[in-house]
Structure 1
Amino acid sequence: MILIITTDEINLKKHLQIKNVEKLNVIGQVDLIIGNSISLKDEVIYFKSSGSKVELRVGLKWICKNYEITSIIFFDYVSPINNNLLENHFIIPKKITSIDDPPLEWSNNPLIDSLEANISANSKIRKVIFETNFDFLYGNILSIDEQFINENIINELKNLGQFDAINNLAFSLNKFANENNIDIYNICIGKTVSMEKIKFKILFEKLF
């Protein structure tokens, strides 16, 4: 069974071609459906997150308690730091870093944690993206709370030259996958207003 995680801004149902859909009853406001994906040729749980780390942890804990997950696909927007990361460009993460402290504390030895992305999964994603003619780059993703993201912070991070994009959930999700020995495929894309026009069905069909 494959777990698909996106945020509220993205709707992958038509790309995944999910049939026999059933809503799962979960404690709290966690939005989960289960069904069969024609594109992925497997049963899937589709987790549409609000972007909250607490909600993510609650949802992941419930899912893994009740289902056997073999792979996770994390498909979400990133906020570019690197000017070379354009709309519709994929970023394949080499390293994912989390800074939990607010920017005011960054000069004061902030709490930083990092992990390396799964090399095998990255190789597969690169092959599929290449075959489907999407543009991509390798880079480092930073997870910080979305409330801290503004133009000044982006410029400060650009000057550091250590990160290429921001995504609030990437670190927490990859850490969970690593701790539970689950393969995770990070399919992260530069935010675009024309998302609905992009055809991802073929990408998913080639991934598994």
Structure 2
Amino acid sequence: MIHHLRGTLVERYPTHLVIECGGVGYEAQIPLSTYETLPEGHAPECLVLIHHHIWEDGQQLFAFRTPQERDLFRLLITIKGIGPKVALSVLSGLPVDSLRAAISAGDVQSLSRIKGIGKRTAERMVVELRDRLGIPATSVQGVAIPSLPGGAGANVVLQDAVLSLITLGYKQGDAVGVVTQILRDDEGDMPLEEVVRLAIRRLAG
């Protein structure tokens, strides 16, 4: 696997670059965030980080300027409905910091504005990436998630239950309200699955 390439930047376009290393020219696809940080013109010394993507019918290189970009790209392509092309579109649509903030806030509306990302895929991004990125959720789609007195564990269950209900199609405000009440009434450590089941029954009632 190729980790990085260091050499002469021969060509630079918004969608791809060509870098020559040891007399061999490597073409790699890039997001706009990488394009904007590349040196202009024929740069004799350029370093890019590589994701070497291999599938049944071929292989392709993807280049990034920072570890954060490459790491996020690799996380994105693990989500159902997001392949390398869409992952590049996501990184081109929002800078890494803004993307992390949108995921933390559960801002499905902003995420779904990105080309190739629909509402359901945006919801999956929030649910699947928030914990893996190590960022706590403070709101979901603009609705604040209150803190519970039960400590970090209770708040994690609250956030995960709300996100699960939104993914199932319930309104975010209703989900926050009913899950908060369930956990405040509960004297023990109710498992996430039970919280979601009870919330669905109450919302359907």
The TM-score range, normalised by the shorter chain, is under 0.3
Structure ranking higher in strand proportion: 1
Q: TM-score, normalised by structure 2?
A: 0.23
Larger Cα-atom Rg: 2
